[in-house]
Amino acid sequence: MGQGGRPLTGPIRIVPPVDPTLLSLALPALSLSSLVAAGGLYALTRRYTARAWRELAQAEQDFALRLRAARIRPAQREESDPAVAWQGFRKFRVTRKVVEDQKRETASFYLTPLDGRRLPPYPPGAYLNLRVEIPEVGTETRSYSISGGFTPEYYRLSIKRVPGWTDSSGKEIPPGKVSNFVHDHVHEGSVVDVSAPNHCPHFVLDMESDAPVVLLGGGVGITPMICMWEEVVTRQPTRPVWLFYGVRGSAELMDAADEISALHSMLRQVGDDQRLWLCFSRVKPELDEAGKVIGLAGGESENDLHLCEQSRQQLVVGQQPRVVHHYGRVSIKDWIWDVLPPNFRDTAHFYTCGPGPFMKAIRVDCLAKGVPERRIHFEEFGADSHDALTDVVDTACEVVFSRGGRSKSAAWEGWRRDLQRLAKANEISIRGHCGVGACGECETPILSGRVQHTRDPLPYEPSPGCCLPCVAVPHPDCERLELQA
């Protein structure tokens, strides 16, 4: 029973002993919360400028990240050197910026810590949170996959510029704020804020295993695949790994910077047990009446056609080139399953990253071929990719957002996909930038009712009695849900 004899609501949770580290982190925030609750800051808040509110929000975010780092999963702690790991954000200088493709849409940023200390290692598939201050916008944070094997001197991020576009309903989607800012305004010598490496539990390459690995990257989804590839060929050179890199044409390949480009580095590393397939979706086969390939069409250059035809002829006569240029999309169902070595089908682990529909097709095709879920790993980046991998949850539920003695009620609408977007539609702000349950910034207390998360396992484990609204929906049995937001 609660105070006053009222029954407790929500799930019953066992509260673990309080970690002294967490307590030391929480005390400043508790003091501030007490003053606000007592009304001691009321007069001041009316005089706060927009900048002051942004600074307060940033302090809140820093505290959340320190709290998260303090209770990070044990497996993640073991992978970091306690002498050099850090909490919150750390200052890094961009020591090299490399434009990777002919279209100038993707750039790699080499980040070196200002304090000069060695960097902690990370598992292949890890990501960083990058924080920048954008004029007239404010502080923005985004998560980006680390795009290279580990080195203690620097981390590398490869970021694609996100243009504005119009969706199928005619809605104008604005350009990516952070991606365009770093392309246009972050250069060699610039200083940015970077979090310690983190990772999703199900999207980590097991470096203790010798099982074959199949990596499938679509567009900029190749970035975590480059990291996995480099780690395997460096630390496990005899481990079989096949990488399928899908782009529309060669102008999108990360090879425009010649010898220092990401792709050139990978090409130098291809060994007897590795295969690298470069797949051009705009190159199409021309068939005769009998269905035999008599030529190729499309592509972005004559070189695309020449390389694809050369590889095709090598495969026809039984050769096994280490680097293959292929026409067509990356597809398990249509052709990849047939070219994989037979032992891969029973033992290989499949890792995929790219647009949502791309990853969904890979997962569906793998399951159809009998690959168990435990050997299928995918990395979601952004709400769009998460939406493509999950179903709409329709249920009759009243959702109440409460804060500071005020509340706002909204009916759950399944097509909104998650509670964070429902809140936004009702002009309620919930922090968070990843949209896939990875950053933990949107963690919100559940005052009553139940939720279910649409991602399992969660990359970030919320505190007892809390949820991650960006990947949470009302539980089907819940008629009324109240969140502290």
Do 459 and 376 reside in the same domain of the chain? no
Query: Residues 419-435: what's their mean pLDDT?
Result: 86
State residue 88 phi and psi, 5-degree precision: 70, -135
pLDDT for 2 beyond 50: no
Do 320 and 419 reside in the same domain of the chain? no
CA-to-CA separations, 137 to 141, 144, 178, 382, in angstroms, rounded: 12, 20, 10, 20
Express as a percent the part of the chain with pLDDT over 90. Answer: 46
Do 237 and 379 reside in the same domain of the chain? yes
Domain count, the chain: 3
For residue 382, the model assigns a pLDDT of: 60
For residue 169, the model assigns a pLDDT of: 73
Do 405 and 451 reside in the same domain of the chain? yes
- pLDDT tens for residues 215-257? 999 998 999 999 999 999 999 999 999 999 999 888 888 887 6
For residue 11, the model assigns a pLDDT of: 41
> Where among 388, 412, 435 does a domain terminate?
388
Do 257 and 353 reside in the same domain of the chain? yes
CA-to-CA separations, 203 to 92, 158, 328, 337, 352, in angstroms, rounded: 26, 18, 26, 22, 9
CATH code at position 352: 3.40.50.80
For residue 440, the model assigns a pLDDT of: 82
Radius of gyration, alpha carbons of the chain: 24
- pLDDT tens for residues 106-131? 999 999 999 999 999 999 999 999 99
Do 230 and 354 reside in the same domain of the chain? yes
- Per-chain mean pLDDT for the chain: 81
> Where among 388, 415, 449 does a domain terminate?
388
Do 331 and 260 reside in the same domain of the chain? yes
Confidence of residue 342 (pLDDT cuts 50, 70, 90): very high
CA-to-CA separations, 279 to 241, 253, 335, in angstroms, rounded: 16, 10, 12
Query: Residues 323-327: what's their mean pLDDT?
Result: 92
Cα 476 to Cα 219: distance, rounded to the nearest angstrom = 36
456 lies in a domain? yes
Helices 50-70 and 20-38: crossing angle in degrees, nearest 10, is 150
393 lies in a domain? no
For residue 443, the model assigns a pLDDT of: 93
Do 259 and 293 reside in the same domain of the chain? yes
Instruction: Give me the torsion for CA of 176, 178, 184, 189, rounded to 10°.
Output: -160
Sequence-distant contacts of 361-366: CB under 8 A, at least 24 apart: 361/331, 361/332, 361/333, 362/216, 362/330, 362/332, 363/389, 365/331, 365/332, 365/333, 365/337, 366/332
Does this model's pTM top 0.85? My answer is no
- pLDDT tens for residues 343-359? 999 999 999 999 888 99
242 lies in a domain? yes
| DSSP run (H or E) holding 130 | strand 127-134
Do 146 and 164 reside in the same domain of the chain? yes
188 lies in a domain? yes
Do 186 and 85 reside in the same domain of the chain? yes
Query: Residues 258-269: what's their mean pLDDT?
Result: 75
Residue bearing the bigger pLDDT, 144 or 37: 144
207 lies in a domain? no
Q: Which of 53-57, 153-157, 458-462 shows the highest mean pLDDT?
A: 153-157
3-state secondary structure of 150: coil
Q: Which of 90-99, 133-142, 201-210, 448-457 shows the highest mean pLDDT?
A: 90-99
37 lies in a domain? no
Query: Residues 264-277: what's their mean pLDDT?
Result: 86
Cα 381 to Cα 224: distance, rounded to the nearest angstrom = 11
Which of 164-173, 317-326, 353-362, 415-424 has the weakest average pLDDT?
Answer: 164-173
* Placement of tokens 């890890």 in the chain: 126
CATH code at position 182: 2.40.30.10
Do 128 and 186 reside in the same domain of the chain? yes
Nearest alpha carbon to residue 197 among 80, 68, 67, 352: 80
For residue 34, the model assigns a pLDDT of: 40
Domain range holding 291? Answer: 213-388
Q: For residues 96 and 162, is the Cβ–Cβ distance under 8 A?
A: no
- pLDDT tens for residues 14-73? 334 444 444 444 444 444 334 333 343 333 333 333 444 444 545 554 455 445 444 444
344 lies in a domain? yes
CA-to-CA separations, 236 to 72, 155, 207, in angstroms, rounded: 28, 21, 8
CATH code at position 469: 3.10.20.30
For residue 51, the model assigns a pLDDT of: 43
Confidence of residue 6 (pLDDT cuts 50, 70, 90): very low
* Placement of tokens 């979706």 in the chain: 281
For residue 22, the model assigns a pLDDT of: 44
Query: Residues 310-328: what's their mean pLDDT?
Result: 91
Do 256 and 366 reside in the same domain of the chain? yes
> Where among 388, 423, 444 does a domain terminate?
388
Cα 132 to Cα 3: distance, rounded to the nearest angstrom = 45
Query: Residues 192-211: what's their mean pLDDT?
Result: 91
Express as a percent the part of the chain with pLDDT over 70. Answer: 79
99 lies in a domain? yes
For residue 27, the model assigns a pLDDT of: 44
